[in-house]
């Protein structure tokens, strides 16, 4: 099986898959898509469960997405994942969507139901499971600060924190207006009375040391949703001097096993985890949507770790 297929090949799918046993009936759709870690993770899951299907990559440009979606039921696809830049357009193309997808305006998981498509967002629910697995705590019990609350991942995660009814939510983004716009959307979800300590339950804070230091004193969990730390030369998005030993630090970045933010957390004596667990659990949730059964987590984790190891060599 090839690593990546195109729309032109999808149009001739029965012929393209003629010699593949089992054929690809699941895929991640993106532009670019060659880097995606989803195929090794999902193929390990399909194999572990003895499913007659493989998972591949489809390199699809934005103007090709509608035709791609129309071809999925015709060619026997079970479903697909959508990644950059297709998550918002995917939601607009499905026939129905779950609450989380509708609230954040994107879908990353598509289920083929007969001739129709259903859209889901598993990033936020994946983070809930990841935080529970990494730190043994639930988002609903925490005071949370989201760094990068204006980006796609930040919006999904902040919305999930609000839907979980977290104790307190502080939104921080380099472009502050985006965090303010998100806060306005989430405000109705914070009207219920809860114990929260000093300050409002939902706040936007400036990306400045003094403001961050003040907020972090009343925070349990910091979630980095910025892209800062993805490149080798990047520094930590916030310095060790701002972090405190009581904090849990979750970095959604998974390109390194010890990100710069995690090293800063180490220096501050705080516990931390990288985004591999979020990637794992959003994938496990997608598998559950497609097959209506529990995902083989350990097989998926082993495949992801092996892929991350080979990608960093
Ligand atoms: P995105 O929509 O492009 O958002 C990028 C975010 O990073 C924005 O908030 C942006 O702030 C901020 N940012 C970029 N450069 C910055 C800088 N120099 N200083 C401060 N802030 C900066 O990207 P995305 O899809 O949300 O992805 C963001 C991160 O989430 C990536 O690191 C990705 O690896 C991670 N992620 C992880 C998972 C997982 O499963 N673990 C899933 C999805 C995403 P502005 O608004 O000011 O530009």
* 203-232: pLDDT as tens digits: 999 999 999 999 999 999 999 999 998 888
Provide the pairing of β-strand 143-147 with 221-224: parallel
Which atom of ligand 1 has the smallest separation from the CA of 156? 26
pLDDT tens digits for 265-284?
999 999 999 999 999 999 99
Q: Which of 277, 294, 274, 275 is nearest to 286 (CA)?
A: 294
pLDDT, residue 152, reads 87
Helix (H, G, I), strand (E, B) or coil at 309: helix
What would the pLDDT profile of 150-198 be if each residue is shown by its tens digit?
988 999 999 999 999 999 999 999 999 999 999 999 999 998 665 554 4
Query: 104 and 158 in contact (C-beta within 8 Å)?
Result: no
Share of the chain above pLDDT 90, in %: 89
Phi, psi of 285 (to 5 degrees): -65, -40
Residues 6+ apart with CB under 8 A from 134: 250, 273, 277
* 2 classed as catalytic: no
Q: How confident is the model at residue 45 (pLDDT cuts 50, 70, 90)?
A: very high
Predicted confidence (pLDDT) per residue in 52-103, tens digit: 999 999 999 999 999 999 999 999 999 999 999 999 999 999 999 999 999 9
Q: Which residues line ligand 1 (CB under 6 A)?
A: 123, 148, 150-154, 173-175, 178, 225-228, 230, 252-254, 275, 278-279, 282
Please give the distance, rounded to the nearest whole angstrom, from the Cα atom of residue 147 to the centre of ligand 1: 9
Q: Among candidates 29, 51, 49, 50, which has minimal Cα distance to 39?
A: 29
Average pLDDT over residues 125-148: 97
Mean pLDDT for all residues in the chain: 94
Tell me how far apart the alpha carbons of residues 78 and 98 are, in angstroms, rounded to a whole number. 18
Contact present, 158 and 169 (Cβ < 8 Å): yes
Q: Helices 38-48 and 297-312 meet at what angle, rounded to 10?
A: 150
Give me the torsion for CA of 55, 60, 65, 70, rounded to 10°. Answer: -50
Q: Higher-confidence residue: 115 or 199? A: 115
Residue 198: predicted pLDDT: 47
What is the best residue among 37, 147, 174, 262 to mutate for testing ligand 1's pocket, by most ligand atoms within 8 Å of CB? 174
Cβ 15 vs Cβ 45: under 8 Å = no
The mean per-residue pLDDT over the stretch 111-117 comes to 98
pLDDT at residue 76 in the model: 97
At residue 100, what are phi and psi to the nearest 5 degrees? Answer: -65, -45
Q: Which of 21, 33, 37, 24 is nearest to 303 (CA)?
A: 37
Its pTM stands at: 0.94
Give me the pLDDT at residue 225, please.
96
pLDDT of residue 192: 66
For residue 254, the ligand 1 atom closest to its alpha carbon is: 41
> Is residue 236 within 8 Å of residue 260, measured between CB atoms?
yes
* Calpha distance 252→223 (Å, rounded): 7
Examine the pLDDT at 305 and tell me if it is beyond 80. Answer: yes
List, in sequence order, every residue forming a beta bridge with 188; answer none if it has no partner.
none
Q: Is the confidence at residue 257, as pLDDT, over 90? A: no
Q: Of 286 and 35, which is predicted with more confidence?
A: 286
Distance in angstroms (rounded) separating the CA atoms of residues 257 and 21: 34
Using only the alpha carbons of the chain, give its radius of gyration. 20
């Amino acid at each position: 099986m090839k690593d990546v297929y195109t729309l032109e090949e999808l149009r001739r799918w029965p012929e393209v898959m003629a010699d593949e046993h089992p054929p690809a009936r699941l895929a991640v759709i993106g532009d670019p898509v060659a880097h995606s870690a989803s195929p090794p993770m999902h193929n390990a899951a399909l194999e572990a469960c003895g499913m007659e299907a493989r998972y591949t990559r489809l390199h699809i440009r934005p103007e090709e997405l509608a035709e791609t979606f129309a071809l999925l039921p015709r060619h026997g696809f079970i479903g697909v994942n959508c990644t950059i830049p297709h998550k918002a357009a995917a939601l607009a193309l499905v026939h129905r969507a779950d609450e989380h997808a509708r609230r954040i305006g994107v879908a990353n998981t598509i289920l083929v139901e007969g001739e129709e498509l259903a859209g889901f967002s598993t990033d936020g629910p994946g983070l809930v499971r990841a935080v529970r697995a990494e730190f043994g705590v639930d988002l609903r019990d925490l005071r949370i600060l989201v760094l990068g609350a204006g980006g796609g991942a930040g919006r999904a995660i902040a919305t999930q924190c609000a839907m979980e009814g977290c104790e307190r939510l502080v939104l921080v983004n380099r472009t502050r207006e985006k965090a303010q716009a998100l806060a306005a959307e989430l405000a109705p979800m914070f009207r219920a009375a809860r114990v929260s300590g000093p300050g409002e339950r939902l706040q936007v804070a400036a990306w400045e040391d003094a403001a961050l230091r003040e907020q972090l004193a009343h925070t349990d969990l910091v979630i980095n949703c910025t892209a800062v730390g993805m490149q080798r030369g990047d520094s930590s998005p916030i310095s060790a001097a701002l972090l405190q030993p009581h904090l849990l630090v979750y970095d959604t970045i998974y390109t390194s096993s010890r990100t710069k933010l995690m090293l800063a957390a180490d220096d501050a004596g705080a516990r931390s985890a990288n985004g591999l667990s979020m990637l794992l659990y959003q994938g496990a949730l997608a598998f559950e949507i497609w097959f209506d059964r529990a995902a083989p987590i350990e097989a998926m984790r082993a495949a992801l770790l092996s892929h991350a190891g080979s990608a960093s060599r």
